[in-house]
Chains A and B, each alone.
Chain A
Amino acid sequence: MIGTTAILVSGVVLGAGTYAYRAAGPLLRSQFTPSLRIQALMGIAATVLLVALAVTSAVADGREPADLARPIAVLVAGVLAWRHAPFVVVVLAAAGTAAGLRLLGL
Protein backbone atom coordinates (compact mmCIF):
# COMPACT_ATOMS: atom_id res chain seq x y z
CA MET A 1 0.00 0.00 0.00
CA ILE A 2 2.27 2.83 1.22
CA GLY A 3 5.67 2.67 2.89
CA THR A 4 7.01 4.30 6.04
CA THR A 5 9.02 6.90 4.12
CA ALA A 6 6.02 7.84 1.97
CA ILE A 7 3.87 8.40 5.07
CA LEU A 8 6.57 10.47 6.77
CA VAL A 9 7.17 12.63 3.69
CA SER A 10 3.43 13.01 2.99
CA GLY A 11 2.85 14.15 6.57
CA VAL A 12 5.62 16.74 6.37
CA VAL A 13 4.39 18.12 3.02
CA LEU A 14 0.72 18.20 4.05
CA GLY A 15 1.64 19.63 7.44
CA ALA A 16 3.95 22.29 6.02
CA GLY A 17 1.42 23.30 3.35
CA THR A 18 -1.39 23.53 5.88
CA TYR A 19 0.78 25.54 8.25
CA ALA A 20 1.77 27.89 5.43
CA TYR A 21 -1.91 28.60 4.70
CA ARG A 22 -2.57 29.33 8.37
CA ALA A 23 0.52 31.43 9.04
CA ALA A 24 0.45 33.58 5.87
CA GLY A 25 -2.14 36.00 7.25
CA PRO A 26 -0.60 36.46 10.71
CA LEU A 27 2.94 36.85 9.28
CA LEU A 28 1.93 39.35 6.57
CA ARG A 29 -0.12 41.27 9.11
CA SER A 30 3.06 42.28 10.94
CA GLN A 31 4.38 43.88 7.73
CA PHE A 32 1.43 46.16 7.01
CA THR A 33 -1.97 47.03 8.44
CA PRO A 34 -4.88 46.69 6.00
CA SER A 35 -7.68 49.25 6.05
CA LEU A 36 -10.67 48.76 8.36
CA ARG A 37 -12.78 47.98 5.31
CA ILE A 38 -10.45 45.15 4.23
CA GLN A 39 -10.29 43.83 7.80
CA ALA A 40 -14.10 43.77 7.95
CA LEU A 41 -14.19 42.01 4.58
CA MET A 42 -11.78 39.31 5.83
CA GLY A 43 -13.98 38.72 8.87
CA ILE A 44 -17.01 38.31 6.62
CA ALA A 45 -15.01 35.97 4.34
CA ALA A 46 -14.21 33.67 7.28
CA THR A 47 -17.89 33.53 8.24
CA VAL A 48 -18.90 32.85 4.62
CA LEU A 49 -16.46 29.90 4.57
CA LEU A 50 -17.70 28.51 7.91
CA VAL A 51 -21.33 28.70 6.76
CA ALA A 52 -20.46 26.96 3.47
CA LEU A 53 -18.53 24.33 5.44
CA ALA A 54 -21.48 23.75 7.79
CA VAL A 55 -24.00 23.47 4.95
CA THR A 56 -21.92 21.21 2.70
CA SER A 57 -20.87 18.90 5.56
CA ALA A 58 -24.54 18.70 6.60
CA VAL A 59 -25.58 17.19 3.27
CA ALA A 60 -22.52 15.40 1.89
CA ASP A 61 -19.19 13.68 2.47
CA GLY A 62 -17.08 15.02 -0.37
CA ARG A 63 -19.14 14.36 -3.49
CA GLU A 64 -21.20 11.58 -1.86
CA PRO A 65 -24.57 12.65 -0.43
CA ALA A 66 -25.12 11.97 3.29
CA ASP A 67 -28.13 10.01 4.57
CA LEU A 68 -31.33 11.94 5.39
CA ALA A 69 -30.77 11.82 9.15
CA ARG A 70 -27.81 14.23 9.09
CA PRO A 71 -29.39 17.21 7.26
CA ILE A 72 -32.57 16.83 9.36
CA ALA A 73 -30.48 16.83 12.55
CA VAL A 74 -28.53 19.91 11.45
CA LEU A 75 -31.80 21.66 10.53
CA VAL A 76 -33.12 20.95 14.05
CA ALA A 77 -29.87 22.40 15.42
CA GLY A 78 -30.25 25.49 13.22
CA VAL A 79 -33.81 26.17 14.44
CA LEU A 80 -32.75 25.74 18.08
CA ALA A 81 -29.76 28.05 17.60
CA TRP A 82 -31.93 30.66 15.88
CA ARG A 83 -34.26 30.55 18.92
CA HIS A 84 -31.26 31.24 21.19
CA ALA A 85 -31.10 27.74 22.68
CA PRO A 86 -27.89 27.15 24.67
CA PHE A 87 -24.95 25.82 22.66
CA VAL A 88 -24.87 22.51 24.52
CA VAL A 89 -28.57 21.93 23.74
CA VAL A 90 -28.01 22.71 20.04
CA VAL A 91 -25.11 20.28 19.64
CA LEU A 92 -26.61 17.45 21.71
CA ALA A 93 -29.94 17.85 19.87
CA ALA A 94 -28.14 17.46 16.53
CA ALA A 95 -26.29 14.32 17.60
CA GLY A 96 -29.36 12.91 19.35
CA THR A 97 -31.66 13.55 16.38
CA ALA A 98 -29.26 11.92 13.90
CA ALA A 99 -28.65 8.94 16.19
CA GLY A 100 -32.39 8.57 16.93
CA LEU A 101 -33.44 8.75 13.28
CA ARG A 102 -30.84 6.12 12.38
CA LEU A 103 -32.05 3.88 15.20
CA LEU A 104 -35.50 4.16 13.64
CA GLY A 105 -33.99 3.01 10.37
CA LEU A 106 -33.91 6.28 8.41
Chain B
Amino acid sequence: MGGHWVRRIRDELGQELLRDITLVCLAVGVVGASYGAITVSEGLPTWTPSYMSVVVFAGASQFLFTGVVAAGGSPVAAVVAGLLVNARHLPFGFALADTVKDHRLFGSYLMIDEVVAFALAQRDPHRRRVAFFTCGVMLWVCWNIGSLLGALAGTAITDTDAFGLDAAFPAVLVALVLPGLRDRTTRAPALLGAVIALALTPFLPSGLPVLFSLFGLVLARPGRHFEEVAA
Protein backbone atom coordinates (compact mmCIF):
# COMPACT_ATOMS: atom_id res chain seq x y z
CA MET B 1 0.00 0.00 0.00
CA GLY B 2 2.72 2.42 1.01
CA GLY B 3 4.65 1.51 -2.11
CA HIS B 4 1.74 2.32 -4.40
CA TRP B 5 2.45 6.01 -5.04
CA VAL B 6 6.18 5.34 -5.18
CA ARG B 7 5.54 2.88 -8.02
CA ARG B 8 3.26 5.39 -9.75
CA ILE B 9 5.92 8.11 -9.65
CA ARG B 10 8.52 5.65 -10.92
CA ASP B 11 6.24 4.66 -13.78
CA GLU B 12 5.58 8.27 -14.73
CA LEU B 13 9.10 9.65 -14.47
CA GLY B 14 11.04 6.55 -15.46
CA GLN B 15 13.91 4.77 -13.74
CA GLU B 16 16.53 7.03 -15.30
CA LEU B 17 15.14 10.40 -14.18
CA LEU B 18 14.55 9.06 -10.66
CA ARG B 19 18.15 7.85 -10.54
CA ASP B 20 19.35 11.31 -11.66
CA ILE B 21 17.26 13.02 -8.97
CA THR B 22 18.56 10.56 -6.37
CA LEU B 23 22.15 11.37 -7.31
CA VAL B 24 21.55 15.11 -6.91
CA CYS B 25 19.76 14.32 -3.66
CA LEU B 26 22.85 12.59 -2.26
CA ALA B 27 25.09 15.48 -3.36
CA VAL B 28 22.70 18.01 -1.82
CA GLY B 29 22.67 15.94 1.39
CA VAL B 30 26.46 16.08 1.67
CA VAL B 31 26.53 19.81 0.92
CA GLY B 32 23.79 20.22 3.54
CA ALA B 33 26.00 18.37 6.01
CA SER B 34 28.87 20.73 5.25
CA TYR B 35 26.49 23.67 5.72
CA GLY B 36 25.47 22.34 9.14
CA ALA B 37 29.06 21.65 10.17
CA ILE B 38 30.42 25.01 8.99
CA THR B 39 27.58 26.95 10.62
CA VAL B 40 28.09 25.26 13.99
CA SER B 41 31.88 25.46 13.80
CA GLU B 42 31.54 29.23 13.23
CA GLY B 43 29.97 29.40 16.68
CA LEU B 44 26.26 29.50 15.86
CA PRO B 45 23.93 27.32 17.97
CA THR B 46 23.44 23.68 16.92
CA TRP B 47 19.77 24.27 16.06
CA THR B 48 20.57 27.11 13.61
CA PRO B 49 21.27 25.00 10.47
CA SER B 50 18.06 22.98 10.83
CA TYR B 51 16.03 26.09 11.63
CA MET B 52 17.35 27.91 8.55
CA SER B 53 16.97 24.86 6.31
CA VAL B 54 13.29 24.60 7.22
CA VAL B 55 12.26 28.28 7.20
CA VAL B 56 14.47 29.48 4.32
CA PHE B 57 15.32 26.35 2.27
CA ALA B 58 17.72 28.09 -0.14
CA GLY B 59 21.28 26.79 0.18
CA ALA B 60 23.33 29.65 -1.25
CA SER B 61 21.62 32.28 0.91
CA GLN B 62 21.98 30.07 4.02
CA PHE B 63 25.74 29.69 3.46
CA LEU B 64 25.97 33.42 2.87
CA PHE B 65 24.07 34.22 6.06
CA THR B 66 26.51 32.10 8.07
CA GLY B 67 29.45 33.70 6.28
CA VAL B 68 28.37 37.29 6.89
CA VAL B 69 27.56 36.68 10.57
CA ALA B 70 30.80 34.72 11.10
CA ALA B 71 32.78 37.58 9.58
CA GLY B 72 31.26 39.89 12.20
CA GLY B 73 28.55 41.39 9.99
CA SER B 74 25.20 42.40 11.46
CA PRO B 75 22.14 40.13 11.11
CA VAL B 76 20.56 42.86 8.96
CA ALA B 77 23.49 42.80 6.53
CA ALA B 78 23.32 38.98 6.44
CA VAL B 79 19.59 38.99 5.68
CA VAL B 80 19.97 41.65 2.96
CA ALA B 81 22.79 39.65 1.34
CA GLY B 82 20.61 36.52 1.44
CA LEU B 83 17.62 38.30 -0.07
CA LEU B 84 19.81 39.63 -2.87
CA VAL B 85 21.05 36.12 -3.71
CA ASN B 86 17.51 34.75 -3.67
CA ALA B 87 16.00 37.46 -5.92
CA ARG B 88 16.37 35.12 -8.92
CA HIS B 89 13.55 33.03 -7.43
CA LEU B 90 11.09 35.75 -8.50
CA PRO B 91 11.49 35.01 -12.24
CA PHE B 92 11.68 31.28 -11.43
CA GLY B 93 8.24 31.57 -9.85
CA PHE B 94 6.83 33.20 -12.97
CA ALA B 95 8.36 30.53 -15.22
CA LEU B 96 6.95 27.69 -13.10
CA ALA B 97 3.58 29.29 -12.23
CA ASP B 98 1.71 26.77 -14.39
CA THR B 99 3.71 23.83 -13.07
CA VAL B 100 2.75 24.46 -9.43
CA LYS B 101 -0.80 25.73 -10.10
CA ASP B 102 -2.52 22.84 -8.26
CA HIS B 103 -0.41 23.29 -5.10
CA ARG B 104 0.77 26.89 -5.36
CA LEU B 105 1.73 27.52 -1.72
CA PHE B 106 3.55 24.21 -1.24
CA GLY B 107 5.13 24.33 -4.71
CA SER B 108 6.52 27.82 -4.09
CA TYR B 109 8.21 26.58 -0.92
CA LEU B 110 10.06 23.83 -2.82
CA MET B 111 11.37 26.11 -5.59
CA ILE B 112 15.17 25.74 -5.29
CA ASP B 113 17.64 25.93 -8.20
CA GLU B 114 18.05 22.20 -8.80
CA VAL B 115 14.29 21.61 -8.68
CA VAL B 116 13.69 24.45 -11.16
CA ALA B 117 16.33 23.01 -13.49
CA PHE B 118 14.93 19.47 -13.29
CA ALA B 119 11.39 20.71 -13.94
CA LEU B 120 12.32 22.98 -16.86
CA ALA B 121 14.22 20.09 -18.47
CA GLN B 122 10.88 18.25 -18.90
CA ARG B 123 8.89 19.27 -21.96
CA ASP B 124 5.57 17.62 -21.19
CA PRO B 125 3.56 19.73 -18.67
CA HIS B 126 2.31 16.74 -16.65
CA ARG B 127 5.74 15.14 -16.47
CA ARG B 128 7.17 18.55 -15.53
CA ARG B 129 4.72 18.78 -12.63
CA VAL B 130 5.50 15.29 -11.32
CA ALA B 131 9.25 15.93 -11.69
CA PHE B 132 8.97 19.26 -9.84
CA PHE B 133 7.19 17.89 -6.78
CA THR B 134 9.11 14.61 -6.63
CA CYS B 135 12.46 16.36 -6.92
CA GLY B 136 11.36 19.13 -4.55
CA VAL B 137 10.27 16.80 -1.75
CA MET B 138 13.32 14.54 -2.15
CA LEU B 139 15.78 17.45 -2.11
CA TRP B 140 14.02 19.01 0.87
CA VAL B 141 14.40 15.77 2.84
CA CYS B 142 18.08 15.34 1.84
CA TRP B 143 19.00 18.97 2.53
CA ASN B 144 17.39 18.87 5.96
CA ILE B 145 18.82 15.50 7.00
CA GLY B 146 22.24 16.74 5.81
CA SER B 147 21.97 20.03 7.73
CA LEU B 148 20.96 18.22 10.91
CA LEU B 149 23.67 15.54 10.72
CA GLY B 150 26.31 18.14 9.82
CA ALA B 151 25.36 20.29 12.79
CA LEU B 152 25.56 17.28 15.12
CA ALA B 153 28.83 16.01 13.64
CA GLY B 154 30.37 19.47 13.99
CA THR B 155 33.76 20.03 12.39
CA ALA B 156 34.07 16.46 11.01
CA ILE B 157 32.86 17.41 7.53
CA THR B 158 33.59 20.96 6.44
CA ASP B 159 35.69 20.47 3.31
CA THR B 160 33.42 19.11 0.58
CA ASP B 161 35.72 20.69 -2.01
CA ALA B 162 38.06 17.70 -1.51
CA PHE B 163 35.30 15.52 -3.02
CA GLY B 164 34.74 17.97 -5.87
CA LEU B 165 31.18 18.68 -4.76
CA ASP B 166 31.61 22.40 -5.48
CA ALA B 167 31.99 21.41 -9.15
CA ALA B 168 28.97 19.11 -9.00
CA PHE B 169 26.46 21.96 -8.50
CA PRO B 170 27.34 23.88 -11.71
CA ALA B 171 27.66 20.52 -13.53
CA VAL B 172 24.11 19.57 -12.52
CA LEU B 173 22.82 22.87 -13.89
CA VAL B 174 24.85 22.53 -17.10
CA ALA B 175 23.59 18.99 -17.72
CA LEU B 176 19.95 20.00 -17.18
CA VAL B 177 20.09 23.26 -19.13
CA LEU B 178 22.12 22.16 -22.16
CA PRO B 179 19.31 20.45 -24.08
CA GLY B 180 17.36 23.72 -23.93
CA LEU B 181 20.37 25.57 -25.35
CA ARG B 182 20.23 23.58 -28.59
CA ASP B 183 17.23 25.82 -29.31
CA ARG B 184 18.53 29.05 -30.88
CA THR B 185 15.86 31.28 -29.34
CA THR B 186 17.21 30.39 -25.88
CA ARG B 187 20.91 30.04 -26.73
CA ALA B 188 21.63 33.64 -27.77
CA PRO B 189 20.12 35.31 -24.67
CA ALA B 190 21.66 32.65 -22.38
CA LEU B 191 25.16 33.15 -23.81
CA LEU B 192 24.94 36.95 -23.64
CA GLY B 193 23.55 36.67 -20.09
CA ALA B 194 26.44 34.39 -19.06
CA VAL B 195 29.00 36.84 -20.46
CA ILE B 196 27.37 39.75 -18.62
CA ALA B 197 27.25 37.80 -15.32
CA LEU B 198 30.89 36.69 -15.66
CA ALA B 199 32.07 40.23 -16.44
CA LEU B 200 30.30 41.65 -13.37
CA THR B 201 31.23 38.86 -10.92
CA PRO B 202 34.49 40.45 -9.66
CA PHE B 203 32.76 43.77 -8.97
CA LEU B 204 29.28 43.11 -7.53
CA PRO B 205 28.04 41.30 -4.40
CA SER B 206 26.72 37.71 -4.71
CA GLY B 207 23.44 37.43 -6.55
CA LEU B 208 23.57 40.66 -8.55
CA PRO B 209 25.69 39.40 -11.48
CA VAL B 210 23.23 36.52 -12.00
CA LEU B 211 20.32 38.99 -11.99
CA PHE B 212 22.06 41.21 -14.54
CA SER B 213 22.23 38.19 -16.89
CA LEU B 214 18.56 38.95 -17.62
CA PHE B 215 19.79 41.75 -19.90
CA GLY B 216 20.66 38.86 -22.24
CA LEU B 217 16.93 38.76 -22.96
CA VAL B 218 17.38 41.69 -25.39
CA LEU B 219 18.36 38.92 -27.82
CA ALA B 220 15.20 36.90 -27.10
CA ARG B 221 12.65 36.78 -29.92
CA PRO B 222 9.99 34.40 -28.68
CA GLY B 223 7.36 36.03 -30.92
CA ARG B 224 9.31 35.24 -34.06
CA HIS B 225 9.84 31.68 -32.82
CA PHE B 226 6.08 31.16 -32.55
CA GLU B 227 5.54 32.50 -36.05
CA GLU B 228 8.15 30.02 -37.30
CA VAL B 229 6.41 27.20 -35.48
CA ALA B 230 3.04 28.27 -36.86
CA ALA B 231 4.38 28.60 -40.41
Binding site for B on A (CB under 8 A): 1-2, 4, 6-15, 17-19, 21-30, 36-37, 39-60, 62-63, 65-66, 69-70, 73-74, 77-78, 81-82, 86-88, 90-100, 102
Contact with A21, one of B55, B64, B89, B201 (Cβ below 8 angstroms): B89
Contact B94 A18 (CB under 8 A): no
Query: Does B185 make an interface contact (CB < 8 A)?
Result: yes
Which of B4-12, B139-147, B206-214 lies on the face that meets chain A?
Answer: B206-214
Contact B163 A95 (CB under 8 A): yes
In the complex, how many angstroms separate the beta carbon of A62 from the nearest chain B beta carbon?
4
Number of A-B contacts (CB under 8 A): 291
Contact with A56, one of B100, B166, B210 (Cβ below 8 angstroms): B210
By secondary structure, the B interface counts as: helix
Distance, CA A45 to CA B64, complexed state (A): 24
Query: Does B83 make an interface contact (CB < 8 A)?
Result: yes
Interface size class of B (residues with CB under 8 A): 35 or more
Query: Does B231 make an interface contact (CB < 8 A)?
Result: no
Would A25 and B165 be within 8 Å (CB), given that A2-B69, A87-B23 are in contact? no
Write out the residue numbers on chain A whose beta carbons fall within 8 Å of the beta carbon of B1.
none
Contact B209 A52 (CB under 8 A): yes
CB-nearest residue of chain B relative to A103?
Answer: B162
Contact A56 B173 (CB under 8 A): no
Contact B24 A91 (CB under 8 A): yes
Contact with A74, one of B48, B88, B167, B196 (Cβ below 8 angstroms): B167
Residue of A1, A9, A15 most packed against chain B (CB within 10 A):
A15
Contact B93 A54 (CB under 8 A): no
Write out the residue numbers on chain B whose beta carbons fall within 8 Å of the beta carbon of A1.
43-44, 69-70, 72
Query: Does B45 make an interface contact (CB < 8 A)?
Result: yes
Contact A78 B174 (CB under 8 A): yes
Contact B168 A95 (CB under 8 A): yes
Write out the residue numbers on chain A whose beta carbons fall within 8 Å of the beta carbon of B167.
58, 69-70, 73-74, 77, 94-95, 97-98
Write out the residue numbers on chain A whose beta carbons fall within 8 Å of the beta carbon of B113.
50, 53
Query: Does B27 make an interface contact (CB < 8 A)?
Result: yes
Write out the residue numbers on chain B whose beta carbons fall within 8 Å of the beta carbon of A73.
164, 167, 171
Contact A77 B101 (CB under 8 A): no
In the complex, how many angstroms separate the beta carbon of A106 from the nearest chain B beta carbon?
12
Contact with B48, one of A7, A36, A70, A99 (Cβ below 8 angstroms): A7
Distance, CA A29 to CA B91, complexed state (A): 12
Write out the residue numbers on chain A whose beta carbons fall within 8 Å of the beta carbon of B162.
99, 102
Further contacts, 15 of them, CB under 8 A, given A14-B61, A44-B222 = A10-B79, A18-B58, A23-B104, A24-B90, A40-B226, A51-B177, A53-B88, A56-B209, A58-B167, A63-B202, A65-B202, A69-B167, A91-B23, A95-B163, A95-B167
